[in-house]
Structures are given as C-alpha cells and as structure tokens.
Amino acid sequence: MAKSEATRRRMLLAEETRCPENIRLLQEAVALRLDAARQLGYKTHAEFVLEENMAKTPDSVLEFEKDLRQRLDVLADSEITEIEQLKQADKKAANETYTGLYNWDFRYYSNLVKERKHKVNEERVKQYFSVEPVTRGILDIYQDILKLRFDKVENPPVWHPDVTMYEVWEADNSAFLGHIYLDLFPRQGKYGHACVNPIQNGSENSDGSRVYPVAAILANFPKPTSTTPALLTHDDVITLLHEMGHLLHHICIQTKWAHFGLDSVQHDFIECPSQLFENWGWEPSVLQKFAAHYKTGERIPKELVAQLVAAKNEGAGLFNLRQVFFGMFDMAIHNTEDANVDVEATYKALREQITRFSGGSGPGCGAATFGHMMGGYDAGYYGYLWAKSFSADMYATRFTKDGITNARTGMDYRREILCPGGSIDASVGLERFLGRAPSSAAFLESIGVANSQ
C-alpha cells in the first residue's frame, strides 16, 4: 500500500488516463444503442434491455438503487469519519494541510481501517488454504447440499496439464449429469480473471436421451512453488465458491431445449446462485472442515476464523455505494433519450456525489476502462446488488433457518432455482423456494444497515 498521497494520486491518474479513445467509442455505442432501441419502439436502451429481466422497467431499477443508496449513506457516515480521522492524523504528522478525501484515498484507508481494527494477517491465513484440500472441501459442500457426487477423471483429455476434470453424478448413482473442468492457475495468454465458460448446454434428444452439459472454471490463483503448494487467500476461497456456484448451476439445469441453459438465465439473476454459495465460506463450522495448515495439518484456529468473520463487513457502506455508483452511471447513460449524453462528465459527477470521495483536478476518466459497459452489462450493472439481495434472502430464510447443510433444503433449491435454467422467470422460482415474494431486508441486515438506523 502506498503511504504517500502523491504516489497514490499518480497511480490512480495512470490508471484513469489509459485508453482515452475508449470514451469516444463508448459515447458512440451509447448513441447506437439508443437508435436501435428507438427503431424497435422503445424510448431508451434500458427500457429495451430490462423488459426481459426480473426488474422489467428502468423505474424499478432506479427505485432499487435510490432506496439502497439512502440506506447505505447512513452506514457510510461512520466509515467516512474513521477514514477522515486517519488521513487527518497522517497530514498532521507530515505537517501538511488536510484538504479532504479523494478517490485515490479510498482503497488505502479502507484497508488501513480493516488492518488496524481486525488485525487480519493475510499471510497467516493463506497457510490454511492449500488449493487441493480447499477444492475438495468446496466440492464436498456442493456434494452434501445438492446430493451430487464428483469423480475425478484420471489422465483426462484436457488442454493443459494444470487442468483437472470431474464427472458429476447424482449422489445415489441414479444418473450421470455432466462434466466439469477446473483450470485454476495462470499462464501466458490465458484470460486474466475468474469466470465460468459453458462448453455445452444440456438438452433432450428426440428419443428422450440426454445431451450432457459441460463447463469449465477459469481462474488465476497462485501456482505452487518448489517449496510450497498453491496457497489461497480467503478472498480466493470465496471466489472459488462463487465460480463453483455458476458451474453447478450449469450442470444442474434440466431443460428440454439447449437454449434455456446458463446463458439464457435473466441477467439480473445470473449472479444469485453463485453469490448464495459465498455464504458457506464465512461459516466457521464449514471452514473447520477443510482449512488446514499445509505443513502441520492443524485445523484453522477458531480465533483466526473469528477475525475473518468480524472483518467481513468492514467498509460495507462505502464499498456498496461504489457498486450503486456504477449501476447509476450505467442507467444514466442508457436510460436517457439524449443520444449526446456526456459520458465522461456524467461518470465524474456521479462518482463524486455517490461515493463521497472527490475526484480532484486533473485529466482522466474511469469510464474509459469500465469494461462492463462494452462487455454485455449495459443497462445491467445493477444486477450485481439486485441478485445479492435475493441470495441473502434465500440464505437467511431457508438455509440459516433449516440448517446450512440441510440436504432437503438443498434439493428444494436445486429443483426451484437451478433446474429451470432460463426456462422460467426467476421471480417464479424465488417465490416457490421462499414461500413468498423476495425481499432485500436480509441483505441489508447482513451488512449491518438494519443496526445502523
């Protein structure tokens, strides 16, 4: 972390002055999207996109974002105060004038607060998360809850020696379900983030037999060395749980037509099943099962797990306000009838208004590298928080109540949420699983909003 504010500022400006030509390209894309929507009879691009999502209308999205922003502001007030005090103290010690909080301060001081309050030592944590036992432990979670069985394929036909392959079966051996590949380590030319790639959708042949689904996780976790196995941070563990959620969603879909596979699930629901399974990565009883020191085999100490859990929601107000900002920017440029909306000015103004950190003076605009706007999330970024609210509701209402390893609840979830794929509106499956319309109350409570009001 850069203690020098001048260094932090230079780094942010270097980041945000990259690819300046992208602003013009995004500006052009916004105008073209609006033109296409108008030709199809819609007022705005967002109106066109949202019609087939859970949200249905731009007004629903804007109401969701506005309500969430108001609630998060209350939580963020105290977080801002803590960060201000730290920066003021730094300025005083350096005999410099405090002039406010800027975008380049956000991550530095947020991490500093977390370190000082919770004393989480990430290097110590990593010693308990060796990739092989973690992977097996995560597969066991899905195996127990969803009544599945994973059989590792020996000498599999794969595209790289690092890749592992599994057969997925019903736990009672009654049916084969599909194949999954785990491609977890970086290499030259590989996609640089974590994702799930469906390779083949499941479907039904004319004679009633099945075409089985196939999918792969691509990730870039640290590789093993000559002296240590591949060791994961706790964030990496959460990422693996998340991506495995996408993977098993794909495998568990049981529809007649391949069209209704993972890619056809409503865009503002697609993250929900994977976000749900992140919750198991914060359960002490679950971590105790597979987190063991790579040298001694000692199970992860309870006090270390307690530190991780205590730090989970540190800075949740400001972090989620940033997510609200991205969603509101997306809507501002896509839910407008103005083909000449100023992308750069809109980004800068909304970021300062919503995130509570000043942009300062100088060139650059983060919109130039906001890849989601050209990567399929146009008029859809709100979906991250939208889906998060539903995943929290499902976890609190069914799994926390019934038991986090309750297989009957898991099978209800598999039947109502996973199996339909994109063949039904996700709200139908949610109401069947919950026994009522979904609510954001559990999400707000999970990040401490309910207790702050």
- Tens digit of each residue's pLDDT (9 = 90 or more) over 343-379: 999 999 999 999 999 987 777 788 998 999 998 999 9
- 422 is written with which tokens? 């994109």
pLDDT on residue 174? 84
**Are the C-beta atoms of 244 and 216 separated by less than 8 Å?**
no
**pLDDT per residue as tens digits for the range 419-449:** 999 999 999 999 999 999 999 999 999 998 8
Phi-psi bin for 414: left (phi > 0), alpha (psi -120 to 50), beta? alpha
- 66 is written with which tokens? 């506005």
pLDDT on residue 121? 85
Distance of CA 219 to the CA centre of its chain: 14
Catalytic residue annotation: 243
DSSP secondary structure of 341-396: --HHHHHHHHHHHHH--B--SSS--GGGG-GGGGTT-TTTTTHHHHHHHHHHHHII
- Do you know the residue count of the chain? 453
pLDDT digit string (tens) for the chain, length 453 residues:
778 888 998 888 888 888 899 999 999 999 999 999 999 999 999 999 999 999 999 999 999 999 999 999 999 999 999 999 999 999 999 999 999 999 999 999 998 998 888 888 889 999 999 999 999 999 999 999 999 999 999 999 999 999 999 999 999 988 999 999 999 999 999 998 899 999 999 999 999 999 999 999 999 999 999 999 999 999 999 999 999 999 999 999 999 999 999 999 999 999 999 999 999 999 999 999 999 999 999 999 999 999 999 999 999 999 999 999 999 999 999 999 999 999 999 999 999 999 999 987 777 788 998 999 998 999 999 999 999 999 999 999 999 999 999 999 999 999 999 999 999 999 999 999 999 999 999 999 999 886 444
C-beta neighbour count of 363 within 10 angstroms: 8
